[in-house]
Amino acid sequence: MRTTAPRTADFRSPVHDPRVVARVGALLGSAVVVLFLTGLLSHLHQHPVTWLPFGPAPSWGYRLTQGVHVGVGLACVPLLLAKLYAAYPRLFERPALRGARHALERASVAVLVAATTFQVVTGVLNVFQVYPWRFSFVRVHYAVAWVVLGSVLVHVGVKLPTIVAALRSTVDDARESSPVEPAAPGAAAAADTAPADTAAAGTTRRGFLAAVAATTLGVVALTVGQTVRPLAPFAVLAPRDPRVGPQGLPVNKTARSAGVEQTAADPAWRLGLSGPAGERSLSRDELAALGLVRAVVPIACVEGWSATATWDGVRVRDLAGLVGGTGREDVRVESLQQGGSYRESTLPAAYVAADDTLLALRLADEDLDLDHGYPARVVAPNRPGVLQTKWVSRIVVLPAGDAA
Ligand code: HEM
Ligand SMILES: Nc1nc2c(c(=O)[nH]1)N[C@H]1C(S)=C(S)[C@@H](COP(=O)(O)O)O[C@H]1N2
Ligand SMILES: [Mo]
């Protein structure tokens, strides 16, 4: 039995090769850029900034970007494992420390691996609604996203010559089987003693890359059904089936878990309206008497699942108008729910003005199910699910220019 730590050159599999590492890395790096951009969009939806106002069009916008975020995020599981497997022998390079520049390079790789692994592990657990931690997932995931982006940029910058050379040489060319990164002195010496490359090694590398590509595509194919309806039967890896739930729509938070079972079902419920012209209160029948408008607007959960639904309700713009709103003010929507982050949301003015932004009373030609927000819930196009507030108790027209 060996007692000493292995050396990089001890890892003889032809897969431990810069050409493989660079190819998997290019895929993973592209995925990370897509994740950063789509994630940033999701963040900006939930924390609007005046210099980049979102609007209600296209109605499927958030559905697409967050669906891509979670789809690509799940695809990162095989990509990350493949990248770590192909590159890990470099951990055993000796001497481990070769001066300040090298130490910095190693530290940046450590940060990159830790931060990316953290994002993938916590992201996947979040999508499956498993929270074995006490911190706020969204806040930490957002902060670490910047660390991932920074360390990817440093990593690519430092490795650019190696990456370019590796991507230029074909995977099956009969070349010496070199441990990852031949530039390292120890590794170069080892390369001399490594067995000459053969066609078989090329096949193994190509086989590995093909297997990684197939697994990655497989993960995507078996999860996109959570948002692409025709593929729903194949979404065996997705946590949600977009067809399952009351009125054919999934439920993230039930009336019971939100603690509103009694208050939402109370026949004495009235909608409170508040605005520059004063206060109003309307029963459900009075709301319905205003005339219902139909909108086909998807629910697009931040967790990646989404489903189109047909809603009937009163335009939020018209409700705001009853208390002096002009359609140019933001509107705050409050729920009967007493606690939790999603008990209220703010509709920016551009959404308030939209024809399809409703206080919905009905879904799929029936009164809303209690779990879908009865007696009334907000639906607006191109919005994260977390902002489609259910069990609405009050709508407040905010002073113009008082963006939340
Ligand atoms: C590896 C690189 C990744 C980066 C750079 C990244 C980046 C981001 C960012 C910036 C946000 C917005 C957070 C906010 O609203 O403040 C976000 C949200 C989210 N990400 Fe990622 N992400 C990554 C990986 C993943 C993975 C692998 C998954 C799971 C499959 C995932 C699932 C989610 C979910 C579910 C949200 C919505 C959270 C919420 O609003 O409740 N992410 N991501
Ligand atoms: N009051 C309240 N509204 C809420 C939530 C909540 O927790 N509380 N969850 C939101 C989330 S995360 C989603 S995805 C949508 C889902 O709407 P549905 O249950 O009708 O499908 O409701 C949103 N509205
Ligand atoms: Mo959600």
In the predicted model, residues of the chain with pLDDT beneath 50 are 179-196, 403-404
pLDDT at 94: 85
Q: What share of the chain is helix, strand, coil (3-state, %, to 5)?
A: 50, 15, 40
Q: Whose CA is nearest to atom 11 of ligand 1?
A: 39
pLDDT at 241: 87
pLDDT at 190: 41
Pairing of strands 310-315, 392-397: unpaired
Q: Whose CA is nearest to atom 38 of ligand 1?
A: 138
Q: Whose CA is nearest to atom 6 of ligand 2?
A: 342
Ligand 1 centroid distance, CA of 140 (Å): 10
Pairing of strands 293-296, 299-300: unpaired
Determine the Cα–Cα distance for residues 384 and 381; give it in Å rounded to an integer.
Answer: 9
Ligand 2 centroid distance, CA of 384 (Å): 10
Which protein residues touch ligand 2 with a CB less than 6 Å away?
Answer: 249-253, 258, 299, 301, 335, 337, 340, 342-343, 372-373, 385-386, 388-391
Q: Are 177 and 197 in contact (CB under 8 A)?
A: yes
Ligand 3 centroid distance, CA of 62 (Å): 12
Widest distance between CA atoms in the chain? 85
For 134, the token pair is 């006490």
Q: How far apart are the first and last CA of the chain?
A: 65
Q: What is the DSSP letter of 5?
A: P
Q: Whose CA is nearest to atom 21 of ligand 2?
A: 251
For 115, the token pair is 């931060």
Determine the Cα–Cα distance for residues 396 and 394; give it in Å rounded to an integer.
Answer: 6
Cross-strand partners of 38: none
pLDDT at 193: 42
Residue tagged 């190819």 (tokens):
23
Ligand 2 centroid distance, CA of 372 (Å): 7
